[in-house]
Amino acid sequence: MNLHAVRAIYKFEMARTFRTLMQSIASPVLSTSLYFIVFGSAIGSRMADIDGVSYGAFIVPGLMMLSILTESISNASFGIYMPRFSGTIYEVLSAPISVLEILLGYVGAAASKSILLGTIILATARLFVPFTIEHPLWMLGFLILTSVSFSLFGFIIGIWADGFEKLQIVPMMVVMPLTFLGGSFYSISMLPPLWQKIALFNPVVYLVSGFRWSFYGTSDVSVSVSLMMTLVFLSLSSVAVWWIFKTGYRLKA
């Protein structure tokens, strides 16, 4: 494995994060903090507990997942789109670098940013609401799997997009609504029976539910099902990336 190439891509992408620290880290942390202030401290103190967990603590995993999903897609899509836009992608494709090494560089950097962001948000949440983590290893596992899966998905979007506008369509018009409707701010058991069944078609429900289980030991669906759905999404994204490099879709045109 060409570790020098992987390290070069990874360091370049991580350096871009620290050059745009306000946009990459400070902005999502500030936005999430506002959610904690409004929903956790102000409104949450007037709401009943959910499954024995205070409302302010209940939304911590959901808000973390909201930030992780959107930032993973944004970082990975922009990271591969800019080399395509500037034409430097051809230098990467012509270099003695395998597909795996390219992915380790770009997707690894995007996932690292999301994990770092999730850790900062977790520490920030402690300033506003008290919460516990019953299964820290599971929490870390779900955090890493989700970050990698959606960074791969963002990588696909960055290759598919032929303009800056398309980079924002999927995160803003698809992922964010699915996250809000995926139990980030409530338990789907609170919905009418019909809407509970409809909610199970939302893949984000399984991500949020599994992540919340790692905190409080309570979830809307089985943790094994949540883990399986996360692995399925990771596998589908990996197959899609393999097909893109095999066919040269929007890479060699």
105-120 pLDDT per residue, tens: 999 999 999 999 999 9
- 172 falls within a domain: yes
Three-state DSSP state, 147: helix
Is 253's pLDDT higher than 70?
A: no
The pLDDT of residue 139? 95
CA 45 – CA 172 distance, rounded (Å): 30
- 51 falls within a domain: yes
Of the pLDDT bands very low, low, confident and very high (cuts 50, 70, 90), residue 44 is low
Helix (H) or strand (E) holding 102: helix 99-125
The pLDDT of residue 89? 86
- 253 falls within a domain: no
- 178 falls within a domain: yes
What angle separates helix 223-247 from helix 99-125, to the nearest 10 degrees?
A: 140
What type of residue sits at position 70?
T
What type of residue sits at position 6?
V
The torsion angles phi and psi of 63, rounded to 5 degrees, stand at: -70, -35
Mean pLDDT of the region 42-51: 76
Q: pLDDT, tens digit, for every residue of 170-205? A: 888 888 889 888 888 889 988 899 999 999 999 999
- 252 falls within a domain: no
- 68 falls within a domain: yes
Q: Count the domains in the chain.
A: 1
CA 64 – CA 249 distance, rounded (Å): 33
Q: Which domain holds residue 134?
A: 3-247
CA 223 – CA 215 distance, rounded (Å): 12
Task: Give residues with Cβ within 8 angstroms of 26, minimum separation 6.
Answer: none
